[in-house]
Structure 1
Amino acid sequence: MSRPAWSEVPKPKVERFAAIALAEAADLAQAILREIRCDFPQLQLVEDESGESMALVGIRRAIEGFVQHLASGAADPRVPPEVFQEFGRGEGLNGRSLDSLQAVYRLGVRLAWRRFAEIGQQVDIAAPAMYELAESGFEYLDGLVEQSVRGYAEAAAQQASERLRLQRQLIDRLLSEQRGDPAHTLGERAARIGWELPATIAVGVLMRPAREAVAPAVGKGILLDMESEQPRMVIPEPDTAGRADLVRRATTGWSGAIGPSVPLAAAATSLRWAETAVRLIEDGLLPRGEVQHCTDRTEELVLLPSRELIDAAAPRCLTPLQGVGPAQARRLAATLLAWIETSGGAPEVANRLGVHPQTARYRLRQIRELWGEAIDDPDRRFEMLLVLRAQRLRGELPTGPD
């Protein structure tokens, strides 16, 4: 920025101003640091390898850099970046905001300007030029803040990255089948990310709606690993009031499954059920577009993954149907299932199937003729119930009038 009044200051006066200010830079830095310590006693000051306060080094370098650029006639004094980036980084790593650091900078500039104004009077520099000097000082302050913000942002990113790394490690240990960590070791891992070990957990497995999908906003209490191909969640105390609603809102638009609530040591069990449910979603056997709770899908999770076993048992359980045509076999199988489920007569079966009672009565007579007394064996009926329900879940039996 052009500074016409300062540019008109005779060079000998500028040189005299710079010489005095540079000669006093160390003492001025000490005085500024004393005031800062007085006004901000909570500020933690770090020392460099030689034992000198980095804050003192930064203040002195800032004063010297500002004055040297003024003496050289440069329009925009260069901010020494390293020290002030380190100040910002320190605030970020210690979990503090930048507000206090900016207040410290403003105090330092105000104190420096007070002494520069005295030197300006001593050297007899005109007031308009000194006003421009003050403007330049506050622009310089903006540069210091900018460097500190950069360091703060780097520290924040570093902390976030480190927390995610530690969180993934904790999730891996929690979900490991062969976890050998003593309880106190696992607790130490959790404490490093500020997570208290719960008594019970539920594990969720998500399916990405898109590669660039935004992570669900599940809050700090729920551990989330977005680095896995299928993101994983560890939900502490899942039966706590409101926890299920929070997860449902956070995962809107996602597909996936949440395993049953289990003791912390059985986390891998909850994971296995969630993974099983996700495979059923991928196969089109459970609906997409929502995160399923395994405990709401007990029938599907028990019967559908056992397809080979169910299919192997079906010919033996349903042998009498092998002597009729495919369409009739499907109708009789659906009627048989309705009869077992309702434990009723023709009216109840008809209502279940949505057919006329006379139709239901006719089919039940056929079933009795085909199976005979074997149909009254409870064990046989239970086995048929499993097979027929599995077929219905797979869409192989009609669920309405046929």
Structure 2
Amino acid sequence: MKTSGTTTSKPPAPSPAPASAWADVPRLKVRQFTDQAMAEVPALARQILDEICREHPRMPLLLDESGDLMALVGIRRALEDFVQHLARQDGRPPHLHLEVFQEFGRGEGLHGRSLNSLQAVYRLGVRLAWRRLAEIGQRASIPPPAMYELAEAGFSFLDGLVDESVRGYAEAAAREAGERLRLQRKLTQAIVRERTTGEVDGAAGSLADLAAHASRIGWTVPDRVAIGVLQRPARECVPPAAGDDVLVDMESEQPLIVVPDPLLAGRPEQLRRAMTGWTGALGPAVPLAGAAKSLRWAKAAMELMDRGLLPSEGFLHCTEHTQAMVLLPPEELMDELAARCLAPLAECGPTQGRRLAETLLAWLETRGGAPEVAARLGVHPQTVRYRMRQIRELWGEEVDDPDRRFEMELVLRARRLRGHISPSANSSPSGV
């Protein structure tokens, strides 16, 4: 209807629920049917359980607090609920004893089985129940339309039982996963714990404790491990899927991973795929008793990544950046050594000092003549000869002393890693 340019309409009325075929069955016949069915429930429940045991002989039969078989109690209650629902004829769904069927699902989950066998058991029970109810319906002269409707209701009831078992199964799976994560974290912390020299040299008891922790989650104790430190990409994130044998501790402030046998064939590729999208560092492979050492290197690498001295994206392997890991962390010692070794450069300006430092490092790395050093720096050989004369004037005989040359190369490589000296034009130092 249109009024003042506005169209209004009433929402469509809900469709009435289809009439039940049981509404046309005389109440007396309904009562006869339900009375006979209820009388046969105990024997029917026993028959269903016996048939289930024949079809599924490995299905465990547990007792409840009263000493009765839980499965038998559950079947009997389900049959009683279904029949009583039929007798009420009030349109309400049948009542379910939820805890019984949730417990069935929890039992499957806790024993590591799938729900397939349990659902097959339910279907078998419904078929047997329908067969007996059909016989009772025939004796009570229940019309076929009502019995067809009863069959549909039975399978709908089955869906409800399955839903409750799924809920119990999911609860058990979550509980089991939580317990595994707790044990996994406990094992991880035990592995990376600092050990005394005595423990590392003769750690029979310590390693026995680790083996006991590991057996609780089915983890095979390896000879060597590498420890990794991760940067959490988000507050709530899914742990990296690095494989069942890689331990992950997401509860620590910095998530940790324990990689067993890191040099195993295929392990690097497995980690590369699993760590896509993650930032972190993996320490070197060490004997299990010395895992804390691997963790220290991984943490040191993360600090260098945070400072921009190592690539700050992706999952970094410490062993691929050995030069940086060795030269960069001891800053105080390296700065003191630099102050002594590079003292002659204090007489030069910043630009000249940097060029002389780059030339000295190129010469120390190549130990070649002016042409080789010039090619490394991308300058003219005559420029190199001029700079080398300056270097000899500044350092004198020290540039010919093997120990002094070694110290100067260490210092200059560290300065290059920190970005204080430009990389050589025709070189890419290893470990950077």
| TM-score, normalised relative to structure 1 | 0.97
User: Alignment partner for residue 186 of structure 1, among 207, 210, 213?
Assistant: 210
Structure 2 residue aligned with 1:256: 280
CA distance in 1: counterparts of 2:100 and 2:28, whole angstroms: 32
Shift in Å at residue 36 of structure 1? 0.7
Q: Map residues 101-180 of structure 1 onto 2, 5 A cutoff.
A: 101-178=118-195
CA distance in 2: counterparts of 1:23 and 1:156, whole angstroms: 38
CA distance in 1: counterparts of 2:237 and 2:55, whole angstroms: 47
3-state secondary structure, aligned to 2:63: coil
* One-letter amino acid matched to 1:388: L
CA distance in 1: counterparts of 2:235 and 2:360, whole angstroms: 46
Deviates more, 1:206-215 or 1:158-167: 206-215
Q: Does 1:323 align with 2:347?
A: yes
Q: Does 1:395 align with 2:432?
A: no
Shift in Å at residue 400 of structure 1? 4.6
Q: Does 1:31 align with 2:47?
A: yes
Shift in Å at residue 213 of structure 1? 3.9
Deviates more, 1:267-276 or 1:369-378: 369-378
Q: Does 1:299 align with 2:315?
A: no
* One-letter amino acid matched to 1:38: R
Structure 1 residue aligned with 2:20: 4
* One-letter amino acid matched to 1:364: M
CA distance in 1: counterparts of 2:60 and 2:402, whole angstroms: 77
Conserved in 2, the CA contact under 8 Å of 1:331 and 1:398? no
* Superimposed CA distance per residue, residues 339-360 of structure 1 (whole angstroms, 9 cap, x where no aligned partner): 1111111111111111110001
* Superimposed CA distance per residue, residues 141-161 of structure 1 (whole angstroms, 9 cap, x where no aligned partner): 010001001101111111111
User: Alignment partner for residue 84 of structure 1, among 98, 101, 113?
Assistant: 101
* One-letter amino acid matched to 2:206: P
Structure 1 residue aligned with 2:363: 339
Conserved in 2, the CA contact under 8 Å of 1:259 and 1:270? yes
CA distance in 2: counterparts of 1:325 and 1:289, whole angstroms: 36
Conserved in 1, the CA contact under 8 Å of 2:195 and 2:289? no
**Structure 2 unaligned regions, length at least 5:** 1-16, 200-204, 426-432
CA distance in 1: counterparts of 2:376 and 2:424, whole angstroms: 8
CA distance in 1: counterparts of 2:170 and 2:353, whole angstroms: 69
Shift in Å at residue 381 of structure 1? 0.9
Q: Does 1:16 align with 2:32?
A: yes
* One-letter amino acid matched to 1:222: V
User: Alignment partner for residue 219 of structure 2, among 195, 207, 213?
Assistant: 195
Structure 1 residue aligned with 2:298: 274
RMSD over equivalenced CA pairs, Å: 1.4
Structure 1 residue aligned with 2:202: none
* One-letter amino acid matched to 1:159: E
Structure 1 residue aligned with 2:9: none
User: Alignment partner for residue 96 of structure 1, among 113, 121, 125?
Assistant: 113
CA distance in 1: counterparts of 2:67 and 2:121, whole angstroms: 22
CA distance in 1: counterparts of 2:90 and 2:243, whole angstroms: 50
Structure 1 residue aligned with 2:11: none
Identity of aligned residues (%): 62
CA distance in 1: counterparts of 2:18 and 2:286, whole angstroms: 70
Conserved in 1, the CA contact under 8 Å of 2:195 and 2:290? no
**Structure 1 unaligned regions, length at least 5:** none
CA distance in 2: counterparts of 1:21 and 1:184, whole angstroms: 61
* Superimposed CA distance per residue, residues 54-81 of structure 1 (whole angstroms, 9 cap, x where no aligned partner): 0000000001111111111133222221
* Superimposed CA distance per residue, residues 227-247 of structure 1 (whole angstroms, 9 cap, x where no aligned partner): 223221111111011100110
* One-letter amino acid matched to 2:182: R
- Relative distance call for 1:23 and 1:153 in structure 2 (3 A) is same
Structure 1 residue aligned with 2:428: none
* One-letter amino acid matched to 1:58: G
Conserved in 1, the CA contact under 8 Å of 2:357 and 2:421? yes
* One-letter amino acid matched to 1:133: L
Shift in Å at residue 25 of structure 1? 1.2
CA distance in 2: counterparts of 1:206 and 1:182, whole angstroms: 26
Q: Map residues 46-57 of structure 1 onto 2, 5 A cutoff.
A: 46-57=62-73
Shift in Å at residue 86 of structure 1? 0.3
CA distance in 1: counterparts of 2:348 and 2:48, whole angstroms: 100
CA distance in 2: counterparts of 1:135 and 1:23, whole angstroms: 22
CA distance in 2: counterparts of 1:155 and 1:2, whole angstroms: 39
Structure 1 residue aligned with 2:90: 74
3-state secondary structure, aligned to 2:225: strand
How many residue pairs end up in the alignment?
A: 401
CA distance in 2: counterparts of 1:138 and 1:210, whole angstroms: 45
CA distance in 2: counterparts of 1:120 and 1:284, whole angstroms: 81
Conserved in 2, the CA contact under 8 Å of 1:3 and 1:132? no
* Superimposed CA distance per residue, residues 311-341 of structure 1 (whole angstroms, 9 cap, x where no aligned partner): 1121211121111212111111111111111
Structure 1 residue aligned with 2:394: 370
3-state secondary structure, aligned to 1:305: coil
Structure 2 residue aligned with 1:314: 338
Conserved in 1, the CA contact under 8 Å of 2:281 and 2:298? yes
* One-letter amino acid matched to 2:144: A
Deviates more, 1:89-98 or 1:283-292: 283-292
CA distance in 2: counterparts of 1:2 and 1:145, whole angstroms: 26
* Superimposed CA distance per residue, residues 344-382 of structure 1 (whole angstroms, 9 cap, x where no aligned partner): 111111111111100011101111111111211111111
* One-letter amino acid matched to 2:68: E
CA distance in 2: counterparts of 1:183 and 1:224, whole angstroms: 20
Shift in Å at residue 42 of structure 1? 1.0
* Superimposed CA distance per residue, residues 147-184 of structure 1 (whole angstroms, 9 cap, x where no aligned partner): 00110111111111110110000000000004875323
* One-letter amino acid matched to 2:138: Q
